[in-house]
Amino acid sequence: FDSVPVEKFSLKEVLITFQSCLTDSQEIVTDSYVNGWRGLVRFMNSLGSIFSFISKDAVNKIQIMVTHRNGENGDKYETLQSMVKYELDNNLVDLQRRAEHPESGCRTLLRLHRALRWLELFLEKLRTSTEDSKTSVMCTDAYNDSLAQHHAWIIRKAATMAFCALPGRAAFFQTMNVGSTEQVVAMLGEAMPFISKVYEITEELYKQHNLLELP
């Protein structure tokens, strides 16, 4: 049967996935990180097909990471830390321009990492927003302060146009499926520190190895 009902899900579960990314030794578990992204893509798809060009790219990057994990050396990709070490030690990263390794784990994950910064900024704006705040403006501001600087003009243009199609704040909160506005704000307050932590640790890892500008 093709009429399986689309199961309602809550953004809370998605954001909590990022909490489970962190090991006791502050490493980031690749599978949990990727699962967090799967959930975000599902959420984005529920916002409408105008965002599908964005989710297609995210799905593509998720798939690249899954392929690394399922590959012969999948165990080397268990955490982001082990991935960076393995790929650098074995010259599996294109450092100057995309050439032999256009789909390295390092460069692919960097794109998701930058997008996580957008998410962090956007959710923080949502959390502290008021009734008359516009989601499209919050989204655009978060984008301009993060991802936009890494995107070509044409992508910035398309993204900014898509943001205008975002539902208003009240409807957006409903889509999150967390409950009342107060509950959404409380949930964001709980979940944000984990997203920030995951972002910070990844940023530091990439900075240490000079990987923040990978082509």
Does 134 help bind ligand 1PZ (rule: CB under 6 A)? no
CB of 74 to ligand 1PZ, least distance (A): 22
- Residues in 40-99 that interact with ligand 1PZ by CB under 6 A: 40, 43-44, 47, 51, 53-54, 57-58
**Other CB atoms within 10 Å distance of the CB of residue 75:** 10
Does 21 help bind ligand 1PZ (rule: CB under 6 A)? no
Helices (H), the chain: 11-19, 30-45, 52-70, 80-89, 105-127, 135-144, 153-163, 169-176, 181-208
CB of 91 to ligand 1PZ, least distance (A): 20
| Identified binder of ligand 1PZ from the candidate list 18, 33, 118, 173, rule CB under 6 A | 118
Distance CA 159, CA 172 (A): 18
CB of 127 to ligand 1PZ, least distance (A): 14
Report residue 21: phi and psi, to 5°. Answer: -70, -30
Distance CA 147, CA 186 (A): 26
Nearer to ligand 1PZ, 72 or 100 (CB): 100
Q: Which residues contact 34 (CB under 8 A, 6 or more apart)?
A: 62, 65, 66, 69
- Residues in 150-169 that interact with ligand 1PZ by CB under 6 A: 155, 159, 166
Does 147 help bind ligand 1PZ (rule: CB under 6 A)? yes
Distance CA 7, CA 5 (A): 6
Distance CA 41, CA 51 (A): 10
Mask for 190-209, x = binds ligand 1PZ (CB under 6 A): --------------------
Of the candidate spans 28-36, 67-75, 114-122, 126-134, the one that interacts with ligand 1PZ by CB under 6 A turns out to be 114-122
Residue ranges in contact with ligand 1PZ by CB under 6 A: 40, 43-44, 47, 51, 53-54, 57-58, 111, 114-115, 118-119, 139, 143, 147, 155, 159, 166
